[in-house]
Amino acid sequence: MRNIWKISILPVIILFSCGSPNYLSEFDLSETYESDAHQYKLSTSFHSINDSISELCININPNDFLYTKTTSNNHLARYAIKYKILTGYDEKSPIDSASIHYSLKRNINNNQKSHRIKTYAPLGKDYIVKIILQDENRKFKVSKIQTLRKKHTSSRSYYKIEGINNNNLTQHQTTDFKISKHSKEQQYLKIMRFESKMTSAPKPHAVSYAYKLSKVPDSTWFVVSDSSLTLPGLKNHYYHFVTDTNNNNGFSVFCNQKEFPKVSSIEHCSNALGYLLGKPEYAELLRTKTPRKEFEKKWITLAGNRERARKLISEYYKEVSIANQLFTCNQPGWSTDRGMIYILFGPPRIVYRYDNSETWIYGEENNLLSEQFRFNKINTDIADNIFELNRNINYKVSYNRMVNTWIDDKGY
């Protein structure tokens, strides 16, 4: 494990040590979903420079950090970026890891700081990467787990995605964006445009439901280019790029509202309300010709009066925003199965992740009174974080209890 201390622009010192002896799947990873962590803006992506080295690109907001006054009257933030690269959740030792420490002077006019960290990840596999941002003055950390796609030279990491007039390098774009291959070779792309699902996920006890990934695009076209390709942002749609038509390798770019992860339009706010409504009430809300009036009516009915409705709306859509931040893929995070459980039940107390599934536990582990949800991963090039809940009729009681908790106990 490399341990790198970096202050301003001073030279870097690198030390090596051994990695962790435990499987990643044995750790409780609930810290990746902690609600307090979302005050930090942590944007990450990967760019493969060659068949051995990939660049971890991290954008952060310096204003998120706690600054402390030094003896020279400067205000400094001290933070660390740590990562581990593994070949899977059931691997013990990372193939590369580092802990990089920074010191930053306060600049109130600077709302973005970029880091480019070279990592070792040989061609031929897709990797699991755990990334930690640690505010050392506040003694607080946030973490996320991301997939580094590098199985083929046509994989996602060999392409650069960049928002127009911003430094957004992720698959989640809010403006027009451009895409290019890191090597300057000619690229052949099959581009498909798909509609995003924009309704609430079926209830966890709706056992007859089965997730189906859309395979029929709205439109398809082909592009041959040896330079960057610029594409417009979309509303309620996403792009999927097939970079190798022989084996259908590819990746997607998801187009979100400029306010993302917040939900601001009446249409999206109404769509996300389905978890607190019965099926007939939700259907009525979706098909109304007076959406704003019906939206307000539904919330006042739930809350009992207009003042309490305002408070409930504020709390509910805060959770919707966090769900977007955590779970957005080929559809908004709030409309996914994990988003539904997160919004109603809150952050899970315990999380275990495996290569093809994820388990959430609310309450004590191995306690019969605890609630446990298992999500199965949908393996696809569309996105790395599409999961389907293993639905069970027994969830009906706890789900309805949490709905009543939202309506009866919150907003005061």
pLDDT at site 21: 54
Residue 185 placed within a domain: no
169-206 b/e (C-beta count within 10 Å ≥ 16 → b): bbbbbbeebebbbeeeeebebbbbbbebbbebbbbbbe
pLDDT at site 185: 74
Q: Are residues 146 and 271 in the same domain?
A: no
Contact 81, 117 (CB under 8 A): yes
Q: Do strands 75-86 and 125-135 pair parallel, antiparallel, or not at all (unpaired)? A: antiparallel
Scan for tokens 């494990």, then name that residue.
1
Choose the final residue of a domain: 134, 151, 168. Answer: 151
Residue 175 placed within a domain: no
Return d(Cα 267, Cα 305) in angstroms, integer: 22
Residue 253 placed within a domain: no
- Separation of first and last alpha carbons in the chain: 49
**What band does 5 get if pLDDT is binned at 50, 70 and 90?**
very low
Residue 38 placed within a domain: yes
Q: Mapping DSSP to helix (H, G, I), strand (E, B) and coil, where does residue 303 land?
A: helix
pLDDT at site 215: 86
The domain total for the chain is: 2
Return d(Cα 405, Cα 412) in angstroms, integer: 12
State the number of CA atoms in the 13 A half-sphere of 323 facing the CB: 27
Average pLDDT over residues 351-360: 96
Q: Are residues 147 and 271 in the same domain?
A: no
The overall pTM is greater than 0.85 = yes
Instruction: Identify which has the larger pLDDT, 21 or 200.
Output: 200
Does position 300 have pLDDT exceeding 90, yes or no?
A: yes
Average pLDDT over residues 351-358: 96
Residue 358 placed within a domain: yes
Q: What is the DSSP letter of 401?
A: H
Contact 206, 393 (CB under 8 A): no
Scan for tokens 């959406």, then name that residue.
291
Residue 186 placed within a domain: no
Q: Domain range for residue 335?
A: 266-409
> Angle, nearest 10°, between helix axes 291-303 and 306-327?
110
From 12-26, 281-295, 339-353, 393-407, the region with the lowest mean pLDDT: 12-26
CATH number of the domain within which 83 lies? 2.60.40.10
Residue 266 in tokens: 């009446």
Residue 160 in tokens: 């650069």
Residue 207 placed within a domain: no
Choose the final residue of a domain: 133, 151, 169. Answer: 151
Choose the final residue of a domain: 126, 151, 176. Answer: 151
Q: Are residues 146 and 270 in the same domain?
A: no
- Highest mean pLDDT (candidates 124-138, 172-186, 235-249): 124-138
Scan for tokens 């280019």, then name that residue.
225
pLDDT at site 227: 78
Q: Which tens digit of pLDDT belongs to each residue from 217-241?
A: 999 999 987 778 999 999 899 999 9
